[in-house]
Chains A and B, each alone.
Chain A
């Protein structure tokens, strides 16, 4: 479109493999477990090149009743992945007669990401609550590595907040502290990353249920 930059120094691995014109979720995504649940957060910007194709997007996709995933990288690839994992999880729940666990969802996601690593441009964070492990978060970056983490960040905007999340994270935070930390971190990433912006969507998953909120772009803790 524009006299677009031929050279961009801060592209993340997720976005440097996109085809020209392909939609990127640009993105800043984050998930942090707390005692009794998980907080997932994401921005709402979908870009193609430097044009914002969608400024109201929802990057937190539901995989099953209490399991969600944050999507970054190619919008198309992550939507397809979400569809597949939902399908397999539904099958799993029918066959075993139990609710899916976060570990199972994350493993399914990882398996597809790993086996198709040459054709996918997707970084996801799977987070949720289950009876077995309580709140847990798994980071699945490009290539299909799967790592269980206490504070997972991803997307192009995450590069700007590694220092901040390292400084803000404390073990055993309360739900309110965790939500505040997620909102603050994503605000800071949105303030510096051109591919992240819009509103902050959050999703809090606990035994009692799921709470989804958003912060409008003019009420962010920091920035833009």
Chain B
């Protein structure tokens, strides 16, 4: 039955089959013993069967808890990734910080990578899961190269493939904890950790979806030049640095175009503005309310 359950996709792997099978075995042995010794009087056959089922279920749940893996929370995380289409291609931007809880631990983390010659992949969320996804995709790139028939996986295909991967992991209650931005010369899409996908003219993950999307909605035009697109992305990342505790002012911008393929810039620092009067004025004085 356990093997059948795995075939139906109800169990994750062969380890789970072992847990379920083992639990059932122990439970039925226990029932046999119970039936031989205590059955009779108010402990009827139905009661014994009930105990058997309960013991089996309890053991299986305990076994799954210890042996089965379920990602409950991410540990090393990246924050927002932004993407937008412009006249000539698509740009993706992100900062280079990976946080360890509230600590700004890795300040030169590369969260945008190229996949093959003409696809960009940006990730927010758990960095180790992003690295695992990159390994998977690089393996596919190598298979393409070995096959050597002139075909490469393009952005649209990578997007669909990742959707399948993320959804399958979600269905096993063990997600890859990322929100991914996939970009190609004429493609921009998102895949989130439960396998939701969509494509649009501009995309943002994490805090960006609250703070950057309104700016992008206001300022984006289909005929933006490369310089304007870069400026808009920098403005959004600047706002994110001001308002997101997990953001950094060191960023990378990547672009992918028909002519030049996918290129990721070296990280650089963006200018930030500290001239607002509110910085200079002190609020903790006696005449105030204790400061804000």
| Chain A interface residues toward B at CB < 8 A | 1-3, 5-11, 26, 44-47, 49-52, 54-62, 64-65, 68, 71, 75, 78-80, 82-83, 86, 156, 160, 191-195, 197-199, 201, 212, 214, 216-219, 224
Contacts and interface: CB of A to CB of B under 8 A. Distances in A.
B290 interface: yes
20 contacts: A2-B207, A7-B73, A11-B101, A26-B245, A44-B279, A46-B292, A57-B291, A58-B292, A60-B284, A61-B284, A65-B286, A68-B284, A75-B292, A79-B290, A86-B286, A191-B104, A192-B104, A193-B102, A193-B104, A212-B282
A198 B186 CA distance: 39
Contacts of A212: 282
A195 B286 CA distance: 27
Given A55-B243, A194-B246, A214-B279, A1 B103 contact: no
B286 A50 contact: no
Contacts of B246: 50, 194
B101 A8 contact: yes
B205 to A, nearest CB: 9
Interface stretch (B131-139, B140-148, B269-277): B269-277
Contacts of B292: 46, 54, 57-58, 75, 79
Contact of B245 (A44, A60, A194): A194
B255 to A, nearest CB: 26
Contacts of A61: 284, 290-291
Contacts of A83: 289-290
Contacts of A52: 242-245
B104 A5 contact: no
A80 B289 CA distance: 9
Chain B interface main SS type: loop
A50 B289 CA distance: 25
Interface of B: 72-75, 77, 99-105, 125, 206-207, 210, 242-246, 248-249, 271-272, 274-276, 278-280, 282-286, 289-292
Given A59-B284, A195-B245, 6 more contacts: A3-B206, A6-B72, A10-B101, A44-B279, A60-B291, A217-B272
A55 B207 contact: no
Contact of A10 (B103, B283, B291): B103
A194 B279 contact: no
A199 B100 CA distance: 23
B66 to A, nearest CB: 20
B291 A193 contact: no
A55 B242 contact: yes
A83 B289 CA distance: 7
A224 B282 contact: no
Contacts of A50: 207, 244-246
A78 B245 CA distance: 21
A-B pairs, top 3 by smallest CB distance, nearest first, are A216-B274, A82-B290, A8-B101
B103 A216 contact: no
B291 A71 contact: yes
B105 to A, nearest CB: 8
A103 to B, nearest CB: 20
Contact of B206 (A2, A8, A57, A62): A2
A8 B74 CA distance: 10
